[in-house]
Structure 1
Amino acid sequence: MPLEVAIIGGGIAGLTLAAALQHNPNLRVNIYERATELKEIGAVIGLAPNALRTLEKIGVADVLTDAVGWRNPNGIPMTFAHYKTGEVISRDFFRNVPDRRHHFARMHRARLQQGLLKHVAPHVIHLGKKVASVAAHRDQGATVTFSDGSTINTDVVIGADGIKSKVRQSFVPNHTLSWTGDVVFRTVFNYSLVEDIPNLPQNSTHFTNGLDFFFATRAGSDQYAVTATFIVDPRTDHQYSETDWNKSASVDTLRERYASWNSLVLAIIDRIPWVRSYTNIAGRVLDQWSFEDRVTLLGDAAHTHGGAFAAGAALAIDDAYALSLAFEEVFPSSGGIVPQKSVPDQLLRVFDLYEAVRKPHSSKLLAIVEAHRRNNLSQLAKRRSGHGETDEEFRKRYTARMDATWLAEHDVEATFRKHVEVGNVAGKGNSATVEEKITTVPGKVIVEITEAEVHVPARATL
């Protein structure tokens, strides 16, 4: 019989994995989603070249159109502008993205979800299934208990249930999430509301004063999006401590917070019809993602990075693809069904491959996020004491920003193939970890990375 794979969560991570696995006859995939309908409540997301290439590989190419995702006319992924003058102070660039369809694309999250749903059979999606707990035993499989009292027994559980994952909580109960100090306001609305604003940028632009942002962008062919983020001290500014992802907020808060910014920012704010807010949360790097050789984590459930670099969706998509490649490597579509007594050992190989490919990559990001967080809070304290950086220092710092090409143009399939090749040559398990050195200096994060080929040991069971 095929392996029963239960994906917990019908968001981007879960749907991408289901789309990637569904053609493997060795696997029978089902998605269990807590919502009673698949209605995306998010706002704009950005998909970097890595995610767009991955979606194309798994056959979800319909989301690569200009109608769905906005690509900057100037061919530059991001522009950073001075908060008062509006002048460009920094830009990101592509290094190796010759196909325009793979240029960084901004879109409403619902459009990506709808695109993925076209590639997942409706009958495998089970709605209204809120997880209460998950239990697993290496030799017996896994049991998922839902809040309505029902249960399922399955061979594999994939926790794709977000940053507050119940699957993760079942196996890492002491993992905590903490407020980063970021307060985020977001909205998406019809482009016609702003299209007559003089000199409105057609290229996605981050206006910034060094700590706070006002990000404005086209989203697909007919929408416009704003994400405004400002930092406060989570130890003292308790009025912003609400973490509800979808809390209704007032546009007047933006008018007050950005009153001293340039006239273009203020003109955009005046056209915003509605806005919602949330406070950003993040957690530490997990020691392991997989448990009892029956359960593993995916996307935000695995790496609670809190949306940094606008990379959450792209990371989830590449996680899903790497896990699907690991399943295909161990349970190839062209091969026969593996005897049930061999399943735990085979799943150990799947999860080892998956973690070896993805965990160093996301751990690097989490280390950078934490370093940025410490720097930002230090900068905020200095600013509030009257000793913040000068305008010249701020401009200089942004000129020396980190190059994030390692993240935006990461080739997950090439990384996977390398790990498989090294693991096969070594004749033992899987290989390669990334050793990182993260250091900070005032206003800057320095990351040194060396890659070392080492054996990845079997993870501890809980």
Structure 2
Amino acid sequence: MVGQTLTSVAIIGGGPGGLGTAIALSQLPFLEVTLYEKHSESREAGAGISLSSNAWKVLDLLGASKGVKGGSKSNTHQRNAYTGKILSVVEHPENSAVDQRGAIRARRTRLQQALLAEVPKDIIKYSKKLVHLDDLSDRGVRLTFEDKTEVLADIVVGADGIHSAVRRSLFPEHKLRFTGNTAFRVLVPKSRLNSLPEITSTTAWWWGKAGHVYFSDVDDETENNNPLFEITIRSYHEPEIPGKTVGWGIPAANEKVASRVTEFDRRVRDAVDTVEEGQWWEFAGFAGPRLDHITAWDKVALIGDASHPLSGAFGSGATFAMEDGWILARALELTHFTGRPLSDALEIFSQIRSPYYNRMYEHLDKVQEKLQKVQSESTNFDEFLETKIDSFLYDDKDFIYKNDISKVWDAYLEANEV
């Protein structure tokens, strides 16, 4: 690239989406990529993360799949949280047919580490919390950080999650709301639950009226002699406390967590009681209206939760963000080698990904309408649960979990005769 001017790209956010984007973009020799992470080191909050065929496809493209191991979700039960009655068992044969690695639940840190290993070491800048962006027209974008430093970039990628500072700069009128849905998450040694074989033998959702509990392996036991096990409690009607309701990760006391499952089956309560004080983390759920645009200023793109604040509705947000980053890289590559402007690359990115997210919103609208109708007409909780589980499991979501992002790109090229 001697004698040529590189296009500078600033990625905001060092989660899976930002790291995946950094991998994809740093492979393009005409780009100079820098990732800005607000924390002082690379870290991933939460407990487990679900990965299906769509995740394996994009991780393969990024060269990071080999570093990701987890617990199989090949045997998933849906239960009534009060009685323990099994309402549904899913073997997930569709995943093994598409990809032999199947559907897994992995530690979020495993995914983070696998991606981080593929990112060029010198491109990540830590302790850089973005405060604001300014459009400088043909001079690019000015980024201002909390430490008062400023940088210029030709392209900015907002991979900074549901509370995106990039999105706030682009669309200050867009407001998030607390959904009332809060998750309490923990990873515990599976050995601590040895007395509860019905809890540890399957991946399971125990559904209640005001919340549910999720149990799952997060380790491949063939490679880990001391595997961890995930417990996530979701409470649907938490009150908002001004100044204290936060978006992502504060410690939660055992007493607070246990109070959310006092009416649940004894086995659930016993599992919750195995957690040592100080281990639970609380994550408040936020969501926002769908965005009309996921790009702005002809040089800024939003990816992942920054572009579609769905509050984790499909449990595949990290995969969505990695797919976004890979498509953005392909669009920039195409426009560079065909002599087109950067703005065309962002338009291609939007043309491919915006309809995909709109389809998710439409799906959620239909499911919500169905559940409200059943809830108003049904007097039997199991009947309502069965409808909820049917929508949760069996409504057509192949467009999500079987998505092959490389084929999506090939289809775009074919449709546009490129």
- Pair 1:358-2:353 in alignment: yes
Count of aligned residue pairs for this structure pair: 401
1:394-421 deviations in Å (ceiling 9; x for gaps):
2441463224322111122212221222
Distance 2:351 2:17 in 1: 18
Offset of residue 132 of structure 1: 1.4
TM-score when normalising by structure 1: 0.80
Corresponding residue SS for 1:310: coil
1:50-449 to 2 correspondence within 5 Å? Answer: 50-64=54-68, 68-72=69-73, 75-76=74-75, 78-92=76-90, 93-95=92-94, 97-98=96-97, 101-209=100-208, 212-221=211-220, 222-232=227-237, 237-238=239-240, 242-273=245-276, 274-332=279-337, 345-369=340-364, 389-398=379-388, 400-401=390-391, 402-424=395-417
Aligned 8 A contact 2:53 2:98 in 1: no
Task: Provide the alpha-carbon RMSD of the alignment.
Answer: 2.6
Moved more, 281-290 or 252-261: 252-261
Distance 2:197 2:55 in 1: 33
1:105-163 deviations in Å (ceiling 9; x for gaps):
21121111111111011210001111111122452211111122211111111111111
Offset of residue 83 of structure 1: 1.4
Distance 1:395 1:33 in 2: 41
Moved more, 252-261 or 346-355: 252-261
Aligned 8 A contact 1:209 1:394 in 2: no
Offset of residue 214 of structure 1: 0.4
The aligned amino acid for 1:62 is K
The aligned amino acid for 1:139 is D
Aligned 8 A contact 1:161 1:301 in 2: yes
Counterpart in the other structure of 2:223: none
Offset of residue 423 of structure 1: 2.2
Distance 1:96 1:46 in 2: 12
Offset of residue 2 of structure 1: 2.0
Distance 1:267 1:51 in 2: 33
1:275-320 deviations in Å (ceiling 9; x for gaps):
1212210011111111121111111111111111212112112112
Unpaired segments ≥5 residues, structure 2: 221-226
The aligned amino acid for 2:288 is G
Distance 1:277 1:388 in 2: 32
1:412-434 deviations in Å (ceiling 9; x for gaps):
22122212221237xxxxxxxxx
Assess, with a 3 A threshold, how the Cα gap between structure 1 residues 100 and 312 changes in structure 2: closer, same or farther. Answer: same
Offset of residue 40 of structure 1: 2.2
Counterpart in the other structure of 1:41: 45
Aligned 8 A contact 1:47 1:313 in 2: no
Unpaired segments ≥5 residues, structure 1: 339-344, 426-462
1:49-92 deviations in Å (ceiling 9; x for gaps):
1012210122112234xxx31113xx35x431221332331345
Aligned 8 A contact 1:322 1:354 in 2: yes
Instruction: Report percent identity of matched pairs.
Output: 26
Assess, with a 3 A threshold, how the Cα gap between structure 1 residues 108 and 400 changes in structure 2: closer, same or farther. Answer: closer
